[in-house]
Amino acid sequence: MPPLMGIEFLCRVADVLSEYLGGLNEDVIKDNFVIVYELLDEMIDNGFPLTTEPNILREMIAPPNIVSKVLSVVTGNSSNVSDTLPGATGSCVPWRAADPKYANNEVYVDLVEEMDAVINRDGVLVKCEIYGEVQVNSHLSGLPDLTLSFANPSILDDVRFHPCVRFRPWESHQLLSFVPPDGEFKLMSYRVKKLKSTPIYVKPQLTSDAGKCRVNVLVGIKNDPGKTIDSITLQFQLPPCILSADLTSNHGTVNILSNKICSWSIGRIPKDKAPSLTGTLVLETELERLHVFPTFRVGFRIMGVALSGLQIDKLDLKTVPNRLYKGFRALTRAGEFEVRS
């Protein structure tokens, strides 16, 4: 067996259970163990992966809700399995429901990107890359055949596709040709490596002597992406040797949580001043200076722009139905964004 097949199948199982149960932990599985057994029974057969597409599984096994749980208690019948097999299971496109019909035909494409960056204590960008996903929400009648093209596909690395994507058009012309599943799905994921800059800067300064440590952190816009940067947050773990902390900011709110994590919620950066966090940390009595310096984790969100520079060129349908609506959006947020002090 190819080793990655086992890993891929386990990832599929985790995704399907998360989607069905609204999360994945021990308590959720205990509360819904009948549905978990039913799903595993359909997803793997005699050791071979069988039906792993969420849209088809939903037709076979109804997701849990309050009504079904009450009925199972009253009637004693806990099975959610449908009596009939979905028509798509025997077709050449098993990820798509058989011949759906819509009054309004819609397809929406979202570029969702996360920026991973590491900035060292001298302010030098050590690593900066984007992990991105092309998410599609499709409500199209019949059996649509779509082609999605990018203006600059050469920047993409480590591409990974949904099973509906035909590989040859991508290999020869970097075109995504596919018959989409019905509803929401992840069409592809990708990386864009070796980016040169980040949208915001964080400048921490920590100086310690005489059993105290003075903290001063500045945050501001470094490269304006042309859209509003909001939901900016800054978190850092206070070292174990800190007895108490007195921290204030000129913008946003500062909270020190019970697990010694300091959380600064900035929101949007105002135009008239750069947000700053200042204060004093008191060290343990036998310590003169701070020897363990914290790492700052940054969060942000930018609606309407993909910082990788990836651009969608066009989306075509071979047979265009009546009343077709197409839409494109982009979103970039912080992933593992670290600033070291």
Q: Read off the pLDDT of residues 194-252 as tens digits, 9 standing for 90 and up.
A: 899 999 999 999 888 888 889 999 999 998 888 999 999 999 998 888 888 899 999 99
Residue with tokens 């009253």: 74
Are the beta carbons of 36 and 23 closer than 8 angstroms?
A: no
Please tell me whether residues 31 and 168 are part of one structural domain: no
- Amino acid identity, position 144: P
How many domains in the chain? Answer: 3
Residue 91 lies in a domain: no
Same domain, 315 and 179: yes
Residue 338 has pLDDT above 90, yes or no: yes
In this structure, of 43-57, 86-100, 107-121, the range with the lowest mean pLDDT score is 86-100
Whether 191 and 313 map to the same domain: the answer is yes
pLDDT grade, residue 190 (50/70/90)?
A: very high
pLDDT at 74: 61
Give CA–CA dist 92/97, Å, rounded.
Answer: 11
DSSP-based helix, strand, coil % in the chain, nearest 5: 20, 45, 35
What residues contact 321, with CB distance under 8 A and at least 6 apart?
105, 140, 141, 142, 144
Residue 213 shares a structural domain with residue 292: yes
Which pLDDT belongs to residue 136?
94
Do 187 and 139 lie in a common domain? yes
Task: Indicate if 313 and 296 belong to the same structural domain.
Answer: no
Would you say 198 and 223 are in contact if contact means Cβ atoms under 8 Å apart? yes
158 and 240 inside one domain:
no
For 227, the domain range is 201-302
Q: Could you tell me the CATH number of the domain that includes residue 63?
A: 3.30.450.60
- Under DSSP, the state recorded for 33 is H
**Element holding 127 (H helix, E strand):** strand 125-139
> Which uninterrupted H or E stretch holds 312?
strand 312-317
Q: How far apart are CA 143 and CA 164, in angstroms?
A: 12
> Are residues 149 and 240 part of one domain?
no
Rounded to a whole number of angstroms, the distance between the first and last alpha carbons of the chain is 46
191 lies in the same domain as 205: no
Instruction: Identify whether 96 is part of a domain.
Output: no
In a domain, 44, yes or no: yes
Full DSSP string of 148-181:
EEES-GGG-EEEEE-TTEEHHHHHHH-EEEE-PP
pLDDT, position 241? 85
In a domain? residue 97: no
Q: What secondary structure, in 3-state letters, does 176-206 show?
A: EEECCCCEEEEEEEEEECCCCCCCEEEEEEE
Residue 84 within a domain: no
Q: Provide mean pLDDT across the span 140-164.
A: 91
List Cα–Cα distances, 211 to 142, 236, 242, 282, in angstroms: 72, 20, 10, 6
Judgement on whether residues 293 and 230 belong to the same structural domain of the protein: yes
Find how far residue 85's CA is from the centre of its chain.
33
Helices (H) and strands (E) in the chain, counts: 6, 19
Tell me the two tokens of residue 58. 């939903």
Residue 262, domain CATH? 2.60.40.1170
As a whole number of angstroms, the distance between CA 206 and CA 164 comes to: 52
Cβ-contact 257, 294 below 8 angstroms = no
Mean pLDDT of 144-160: 93
Domain boundary among 56, 75, 94: 75
Same domain, 291 and 212: yes
At residue 112 the predicted structure's pLDDT band, cuts being 50, 70 and 90, is very high
Rounded Cα distance between 313 and 133, Å, is 16
pLDDT at 77 over 70: no
Q: Which H or E element spans position 281?
A: strand 276-283
Question: So what's the pLDDT on residue 63?
Answer: 82
**Residue 173 half-sphere exposure toward CB, CA atoms < 13 A:** 8
Phi, psi of 163 (to 5 degrees): -60, -20
pLDDT at 131 over 90: yes
pLDDT score of 266 more than 80: yes
